[in-house]
Structure 1
Amino acid sequence: MTDFVTPPARPRLAIDGDSRSFPVARVFCIGRNYADHAKEMGAKAEAIFFMKPADAVTPDSTIAYPAETADLHHEVELVLALGEGGAIVASGVGVDLTKRDLQARLKEKSAPWEIAKAFRNSAPVGTLRAGPPPASGAIGLSVNGETRQSGDLDQMILAPDALLAELGRFFTLGAGDLVFTGTPAGVGPLKAGDTVKAEIAGLPVLEFSIPEARS
């Protein structure tokens, strides 16, 4: 049987020191996994899950400012890359980009807010590092050289193993899945012309820029 349409290509992420790549299947995200971030958002510190499509993931070093927002926010996160049986095989640095103004309007209506989170290129991820993820260590993000977010991985409410156990109650996790593990406090706006640097101790640095719009 042949395909009725051309199947979409999967995003693929580089693995540090390995000629192979990681093909992305699904993207799971957790919100409110750092108490200080939940507090700054005026929310209860409890884990909530949502998803992004595979095409949200991008390794690109430039990301266009998205449509339908005037308040794009950054959220630096440890990203888990899963293999067969849902085991962690690698990890990396990611940034969850959020249309905060749109999300706020949807929250006021008690409406789902996927369109504020699940847009194309909304999940830049850096080069992955094979092996277990760091259990502790600095996590941070700077914009144009100015520190915006700063925390430690041990501040997570649900550490990676506990997070996967909870997520596994609702989904059968498997090879190609990515899991964003939440963000520390300090989230804030990005604008055209900004350069973002996201870092987690022991993992390859993620850097990208938002080019100025052409006149």
Structure 2
Amino acid sequence: MNGLFDALERAAGPVTFAPGATLLRGFALEDAAALLAAVDAIAAAAPMRHMVTPGGYTMSVATTSCGELGWTSDAQGYRYAACDPDTGLPWPAMPALFDTLARDAAAQAGFPGFQPDACLINRYAPGARLTLHQDRNERDFGAPIVSVSLGLPATFLFGGIKRTDPTLKLRLAHGDVVVWGGPARLRFHGVLPLAHGTHPVTGAYRINLTFRKAR
């Protein structure tokens, strides 16, 4: 897989790195400032928090959501909910810019007609990580996942259908977008611990927007 990784590092345009999985380098750069301003507004209404997994583990990534549904986790399990469990209020509406970006990225990657109803917003501080997992809480596996990277660079892990399958490591920079669906929809993926650094826009953080069709 090293040869493919090297090619992806040099890629300037869309690159399909697995059947159903595409990297769009710099796709969100033009909208990055507006996206981050929207994240700040969403977090003011639904603050970032470190959720607890069903196994009792506190996630190192801080998270919030926007859209018709928001992703949540506690001792009862992973699920989507119409209201923020911390405030009892509906999640903030998904900004039009978010919706347009997600639809455009999905179409560019070969998934026209994507209609996201949930956006999970993750904030990574140095050392924060996301262990290998599958996105299985959605009802419609026919829709892709659209993931937008902002701020500090991160190493994205993309594996197979089994947790023990080999993983490809992709270095994701500010403005990069990854889309996976179809045969790649249930592949394991994660993020290695974020390295220390400072980004001119986000400081010591990485922000990730993950768009899903949850129902």
Scaled to the shorter chain, the TM-score interval is under 0.3
Structure with greater strand share of residues: 1
Task: Report the TM-score when normalising by structure 2.
Answer: 0.26
Task: Report the TM-score when normalising by structure 1.
Answer: 0.26
